[in-house]
Amino acid sequence: MPRPNTSKGFTLIELVIVIIVLGILAVIAAAKYVDLKREAEVARVKATAAALQQSITFSHTKWQLINGNGALNDLPDYAGGKLDMNSHGYPLGIDKGNPMSKPKNIGKGEQGCVDLWNTLQEDPASVSLSSVNNDSDFQAYRHQAEVNPDGETQCTYVLRTLGDIKDRQQADIKIVYDSVAGSATALINE
């Protein structure tokens, strides 16, 4: 007696449905991955800003113990003894010269923000000048202070790892260092 022909495979409709379901799951997973990557970068920027703030606070305390008033070149026993401090007791960068030229400005030109970033942190994320286009984590901008426009300059470090190409004012994720207030603040646009 002949056996009936029973196929144990999938029909074309079943395969199409499985492919559609897998496609939907892939889209959901990819969106979740992008969100998780952004959240991880935001957390890293906040941690970096907190570490910068801690270093700024430590250098300010050292300045108070040693001097306590006026600008100071080469803060001894801190950051290799090369950190220059403004009259408020907050870091201005390195190599400002003695006597200090322009004691309200951070560093010497835009490189001053890069030098300050690298001097204040033990193992810093990569940073480049705003005029250089490379694959660094952050891009540094030295600019006129927005809150205290009395000749002081500030540094803004814009996160570039998520592909943000906006300028420092429009950037979504950045750290702003204010040498008058002695603050390093993470600014995140949601």
Tens-digit pLDDT profile for residues 3-14: 666 667 778 888
Question: Does residue 67 register a pLDDT over 80?
Answer: no
Count of domains in the chain?
1
Q: What is the pLDDT of residue 131?
A: 60
Q: Tell me how far apart the alpha carbons of residues 175 and 42 are, in angstroms, rounded to a whole number.
A: 11
Q: Which domain covers residue 65, as residue numbers?
A: 16-188
**Is position 149 within any domain?**
yes
Q: Which region among 101-105, 126-130, 162-166 has the lowest average model confidence (pLDDT)?
A: 101-105
Q: What is the pLDDT of residue 68?
A: 72
**Is position 38 within any domain?**
yes
**Is position 10 within any domain?**
no
Q: What is the pLDDT of residue 164?
A: 84
**Is position 140 within any domain?**
yes
**Is position 171 within any domain?**
yes
**Is position 11 within any domain?**
no
Whole-prediction pTM = 0.80
Handedness of CA 62, 127, 175, 147 (dihedral sign): positive
Tens-digit pLDDT profile for residues 97-116: 777 777 778 888 888 999 99
**Is position 2 within any domain?**
no
**Is position 174 within any domain?**
yes
- The band of 168, judged by pLDDT with boundaries at 50, 70 and 90, is confident
Q: What is the pLDDT of residue 1?
A: 63
CB 130 within 8 A of CB 98: no
